[in-house]
Structure formats: structure tokens, C-alpha cells
């Protein structure tokens, strides 16, 4: 399902700079209370293998604005930290 390429590290989505994209590897969470939020993220289209682009971050450490599956989504910072991606750097 996912293509492994050497030299690309998994980083949380919050590490991406404005305008950068990545491929979702996993959404980390236990089976506890945060499980519902993970499900919700996936229902919104953030599933492994999906391309996600960070458009910008709201000031004061606010949420991230991302483009995923052709639409605009705002994700709170705490949750964005749980989304792990492989970065696609534009040279």
C-alpha cells in the first residue's frame, strides 16, 4: 500500500513548513479517549498514503490549515502532532 523510499524520515505534521507536503504514514493514538479523534481524522480523509499539504499555521501556536483530498481542513495543533508524514521536499 505504501511505497518505502530510503532516506525519508517520518515526522509529525507540525514539523512541516508552510507550503510543504507530505504523505501520511500513520495517525498515532491509543485505544483510550483519543481514539474517537483518530477515527474522525481518518473519516475526514487523513488515511495512510494520503497526500497532505500544510498551507499555514494560525498565530500563537494555533491550528494548522491543510489541504487534503482537494479541500481545506483546519486541525488543532495537538492533533496535528499525532499525524506522522513523510516529507516531500521541493528541491
Partner 1 sequence: MSEKKLVIALAGNANVGKSVIFNYLTGLHQHIGNWPGKTVEKAEGTLHFKGYRIDIIDLPGIYSLSTYSIEESISRRYIAVEKPDAVINVVDASILERNLFFTLQLMELETPMVIALNQIDVAKKKGIEIDVEKLSEILGVPVIPTVAIKGIGIFKLLDKAVEVAGKKTRPKKVEYGEDFENAIRKIEESFIDYDLPYPRRYVAIKILERDKEIEEEVIQKNPGIISIAKEVGKKLEEKYGHSCPTLITSERYRIAGCIAREVQKIISPPRPTLAEKLHEVTTHKVLGYLVMGIILLSMFFFVFAFGNLLSETLSNLLYGLKPFLTFILETGFLGELFWGGIVEGLIAGATIALPYVIPFYIALYILEDSGYVSRVAFLMDNAMHKMGLHGKAFIPLILGYGCNVPACLGCRIMETQRERLIAAFATTLIPCAARTVIILGLVGRFIGIQWALVLYVFNLIIIFLLGRLAFKALPGEPTGLIMEMPDYRLPHLKTVLKQTWFRLAEFLKIALPLIIVATFTVKLFEEAGLLEAVNTVLSPVTVRWLGLPEAVGVSLIFGVLRKELALIMLANLLGTTDFSYVLTPIQMVVFTIVSMFYIPCIATIATCVKEFGWKKSFFLTVFEILFALALGGIVFRVLSILVNLF
Residue 74 in the binding site for partner 1 (CB under 8 A): yes
- Cβ atoms of 86 and 8 within 8 Å: the answer is yes
* Cα gap 83→63, rounded to integer Å: 13
Residue 85 in the binding site for partner 1 (CB under 8 A): no
Nearer to partner 1, 15 or 45 (CB): 45
What is the per-residue binding string for partner 1 in 13-42, x denoting contact by CB under 8 A?
Answer: -------------xx-----xx-xx-xxxx
Residue choice 16, 23, 52, 79 for contact with partner 1 (CB under 8 A): 79
Residue 89 in the binding site for partner 1 (CB under 8 A): no
Residue choice 17, 19, 76, 89 for contact with partner 1 (CB under 8 A): 76
- Cβ atoms of 46 and 74 within 8 Å: the answer is no
* CB atoms closer than 10 angstroms to residue 68: 19
Distances in Å between the alpha carbon of 70 and those of 12, 33, 53? Answer: 21, 29, 10
- Cβ atoms of 48 and 25 within 8 Å: the answer is yes
Q: Please give the residue ranges that form the binding site for partner 1 (CB under 8 A).
A: 1, 26-27, 33-34, 36-37, 39-45, 47-50, 56, 58-63, 65, 69-79
Amino acid at each position: 500500500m505504501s511505497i518505502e523510499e530510503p532516506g525519508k524520515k517520518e515526522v509529525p505534521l507540525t514539523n512541516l513548513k508552510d507550503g510543504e507536503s507530505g504523505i501520511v504514514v500513520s495517525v498515532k493514538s491509543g485505544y483510550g479517549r483519543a481514539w474517537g479523534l483518530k477515527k474522525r481524522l481518518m473519516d475526514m480523509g487523513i488515511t495512510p498514503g494520503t497526500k497532505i499539504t500544510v498551507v499555514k499555521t494560525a498565530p500563537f501556536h494555533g491550528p494548522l490549515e491543510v489541504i487534503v483530498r482537494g479541500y481545506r481542513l483546519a486541525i488543532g495543533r495537538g492533533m496535528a502532532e499525532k499525524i506522522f508524514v513523510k516529507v516531500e521536499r521541493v528541491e
